Amino acid sequence: MPISSHFIDAGLKVSTNVSLANYSTMRVGGTGTTLVHATTEEELSKAIQITQTQNIPMYFLGSGSNTLFVNDFEGVIIKIETKGITTIEEDDTSVLFSVAAGEDWHNFVTFCVNQNLVGNENLAYIPGTVGAAPVQNIAAYGQVQEDTMVSLRAIEIETGEIKTFSKAECDFSYRGSIFKGELKGKYCIASVQYRLQKATNYTPELSYHSRYESLKDFLPKASEPITPKDIFTAIVALRKHKLPQVDESGTLGSFFMNPFITKEHLLKLQQTFPDIQFYPVDKMQYPDSSDPELQNAELVKVPAGWLLEELGFRGKFKGNVGSSPKQALCIVVTGPATGEQVLDFAQQIRNTVLEKTNISLRTEVNIIDETGPREL
């Protein structure tokens, strides 16, 4: 009995032998034998239960904006297509929402801004779904997803039970959470609760940090005071200006995370790269790392994009795969290519950075091969 029959018998919509390139914004990949569309939390639970019973690999897919399919995938892809933004409570100063995991993140931010709510406007135009936002703990221009997140509901894969995680239990770190660490592969996020502040007493200091000087050019010159909508509009314009767009080429956005290094390491690099960019960080921003050197030392953050540009990768191509002329940190595909070719190019970048700077870059994207997630 084909695995797809089990899902069909349960009333679930199934696509078979799909081109994975159509389910990733990188536009590469082989074939997926079974893709299940989960449009409700009940369907999501059913899909997980059936896949668990059959004891085959599963991968949860949102918008595909952070997934590189290297080749074929031999398991079940559960595509989370749940929708809904529900008001849980409201008072004079804030509103608490429950948002389905399959909701588009940018649409949620737009929804909040249009209601004159403050707290996530700097996270506008980040591709992906709401369910993926806590896993990655997305951040941009001084705001972090965890700033407004209150809790989330997740399905335990092994048992099918629903568990509520508080913000503290998510163990957030720079571009990380417990769902990328200790609980990786053990839960599927079903919905997330966010509390946004009403903009009655709004001041731009709530969301605008002066170290991001590039934002100034995109803010309205004559608008006083600056509104959340102004910030939102400026962020969208800036990201469109600085980053490759999926209607122009295949891309997953930033392929690598910004590395954290010790101050001693920075001093050594400054001998070779006197103009190296870096930012101070506090303990709350530290990466999820088992490296005791990083856990106990005073760290700085180095922009990976600056490193790649300094090392000559911006606009560099090998065939139809290369580093975007707009932003060196973004690998793009401009024509026919394979997932293996993207992976090879990423490995070339990583090897060069390690050789020249002794920095080991960590990938920000999910790399999926025949049986599931893998590391570069």
Q: pLDDT tens digits, residue range 146-160? A: 999 999 999 999 999
Class of domain 250-374: alpha beta
Tokens of 63: 């918008």
Reply yes or no on whether the pLDDT at 227 is more than 90. no
What integer pLDDT is reported at residue 331 of this predicted model?
A: 98
| For range 213-237, the mean pLDDT | 75
| For range 226-248, the mean pLDDT | 88
Contact between 138 and 177 (Cβ < 8 Å): no
pTM: 0.92
What integer pLDDT is reported at residue 201 of this predicted model?
A: 62
Reply yes or no on whether the pLDDT at 210 is more than 50. no
Instruction: List beta partners, residue 68.
Output: 367
Catalytic residue among 207, 254, 323, 324: 254
Closest CA relative to residue 249, chosen from 152, 333, 129, 360: 333
Tokens of 141: 């221009």
Q: Which of 120-124, 231-235, 327-331 has the lowest mean pLDDT?
A: 231-235
What integer pLDDT is reported at residue 340 of this predicted model?
A: 97
| For range 319-331, the mean pLDDT | 97
Per CATH, domain 85-242 is 3.30.465.10:
yes
Reply yes or no on whether the pLDDT at 206 is more than 60. no
Domain boundaries, the chain: 3-80, 85-242, 250-374
CA 285 to each of CA 48, 138, 235, 300: distance values in angstroms, whole numbers, following the listed order: 33, 12, 22, 10
Among this protein's residues, is 175 annotated catalytic?
yes
Strands 73-80 and 31-38: parallel
Q: Which of 112-121, 175-184, 274-283 has the lowest mean pLDDT?
A: 274-283
C-alpha–C-alpha distance, residues 13 and 175, integer Å: 33
Reply yes or no on whether the pLDDT at 322 is more than 80. yes
Contact between 189 and 153 (Cβ < 8 Å): yes
Packing angle of the helix pair 228-242, 105-114 (nearest 10 deg): 150
| For range 215-225, the mean pLDDT | 66
C-alpha–C-alpha distance, residues 111 and 260, integer Å: 34
| For range 251-269, the mean pLDDT | 95
What integer pLDDT is reported at residue 212 of this predicted model?
A: 45
Helix (H) or strand (E) holding 38: strand 31-38
Comparison of pLDDT for 268 and 142, the residue scoring more: 268
What integer pLDDT is reported at residue 247 of this predicted model?
A: 86
| For range 352-376, the mean pLDDT | 94
**Considering the chain, what is the average pLDDT of its residues?**
91
C-alpha–C-alpha distance, residues 83 and 105, integer Å: 11
CATH of region 3-80, choose from 3.30.420.280, 3.20.20.70, 3.30.43.10, 2.60.40.3120 = 3.30.43.10
What integer pLDDT is reported at residue 224 of this predicted model?
A: 64
C-alpha–C-alpha distance, residues 176 and 286, integer Å: 10
Alpha helices in 14-104 (DSSP H): 41-54
Confidence of residue 207 (pLDDT cuts 50, 70, 90): very low
C-alpha–C-alpha distance, residues 47 and 54, integer Å: 11
C-alpha–C-alpha distance, residues 255 and 246, integer Å: 14
Among this protein's residues, is 146 annotated catalytic?
no
Query: What are the φ and ψ backbone dihedral angles of 316, each rounded to 5 degrees?
Result: -85, 135
Strands 187-198 and 149-156: antiparallel
Contact between 138 and 112 (Cβ < 8 Å): no
- pLDDT > 90 in the chain, percent: 78
What integer pLDDT is reported at residue 281 of this predicted model?
A: 81
Among this protein's residues, is 158 annotated catalytic?
no
Catalytic residue among 175, 239, 350, 362: 175
The pLDDT tens digits for 284-315 are 566 665 566 666 678 999 999 999 999 999 99
Q: How many CB atoms lie within 10 A of CB 251?
A: 24
| Phi-psi region at 14: left, alpha or beta (left = phi > 0; alpha = psi -120 to 50) | beta
Reply yes or no on whether the pLDDT at 211 is more than 70. no
| For range 356-366, the mean pLDDT | 96
What integer pLDDT is reported at residue 138 of this predicted model?
A: 96
